A and B are shown apart, each in its own frame.
Chain A
Amino acid sequence: MLSTWFPNVQWDVLLEATQETLYMSAISVVITFVLGLALGLALFLTSPGNLWANKFLNSLIAIIVNVFRSIPFIILIILLIPFTRFIVGTMLGAEAALPALIVGAAPFYARMVEIALREINKGVIEAAKSMGATNTQIIFKVLIPESTPALVSGITVTAIALVSYTAMAGVVGAGGLGNLAYMEGYQRDNADVTLVSTVLILIIVFIIQWIGDRITTTLDKR
Chain B
Amino acid sequence: MINLQSVRKVFQTKDGEVKAVDTVDLNIRQGEIYGIIGYSGAGKSTLIRILNMLERPTSGTVTIGGKNMSELSSKKLREARQEISMIFQHFNLLWSRTVRENIAFPLEIAGYPKDRIKQRVDELIDLVGLEGRGGSYPSQLSGGQKQRVGIARALANEPKVLLCDEATSALDPKTTDSILDLLVEINQKLGLTIVLITHEMHVIRKICHRVAVMEKGKVVEEGDVLNVFKNPKEPITKDFVKQVTEPEETVDTIRQFIQEFPEGRIVQLTFVGGRAGQPLITELIRNYEVDVNILQGKITQTQNGPYGTLFIQIKGSEAALSNAMEFLNSVQVEVEVIHNA
Contacts and interface: CB of A to CB of B under 8 A. Distances in A.
In the complex, the 7 A-B pairs of residues with the closest C-beta atoms, listed nearest first: A132-B81, A132-B78, A123-B92, A127-B92, A221-B137, A130-B86, A131-B106
Contact of B109 (A132, A148, A222): A132
A121 B88 CA distance: 13
Contact of B96 (A123, A126, A131, A145): A145
A49 to B, nearest CB: 12
A187 interface: no
15 contacts: A124-B92, A129-B81, A130-B84, A130-B86, A131-B153, A132-B78, A132-B81, A132-B82, A134-B109, A141-B108, A141-B109, A142-B94, A146-B94, A148-B96, A221-B139
Interface in B103-131: 105-106, 108-110
* Interface of B, helix, strand, loop or mixed by DSSP: mixed
Given A127-B86, A130-B86, A141 B105 contact: yes
Interface residues of A, number: 21
Given A121-B92, A146-B94, A133 B109 contact: yes
A137 B81 CA distance: 15
B157 interface: yes
Nearest to B157: A131
A123 B90 contact: yes
A133 B108 CA distance: 9
Interface string A128-158: 1111111001000110011010000000000
Nearest to A145: B96
B67 to A, nearest CB: 13
A28 B109 CA distance: 34
A131 B92 contact: no
B280 interface: no
Interface string B59-88: 000000000000000000111111011101
B54 interface: yes
Interface residues of B, number: 29
B105 A131 contact: yes
Contacts of B245: none
Interface in A136-186: 137, 141-142, 145-146, 148
B327 interface: no
A124 B85 contact: no
Interface of A is mostly: helix
Interface of B: 52, 54, 77-82, 84-86, 88, 90, 92-97, 105-106, 108-110, 137, 139, 153, 157, 163
Interface of A: 121, 123-124, 126-134, 137, 141-142, 145-146, 148, 219, 221-222
A6 to B, nearest CB: 48
A127 B81 CA distance: 11
B95 A134 contact: no
Contacts of A123: 88, 90, 92
Contacts of A127: 86, 88, 92
Contacts of B80: 132
A126 to B, nearest CB: 6
A149 B111 CA distance: 27
Contacts of B85: 130-131
A48 to B, nearest CB: 13
A130 B52 contact: yes
Contacts of B81: 129-132
A38 to B, nearest CB: 21
B166 to A, nearest CB: 12
Contacts of B77: 132
A29 B157 CA distance: 41
Given A123-B88, A127-B86, A127-B88, A134 B78 contact: yes
A130 B52 CA distance: 7
A121 B89 CA distance: 13
A105 to B, nearest CB: 26
Contacts of A124: 92-94
Contacts of A132: 77-82, 106, 109-110
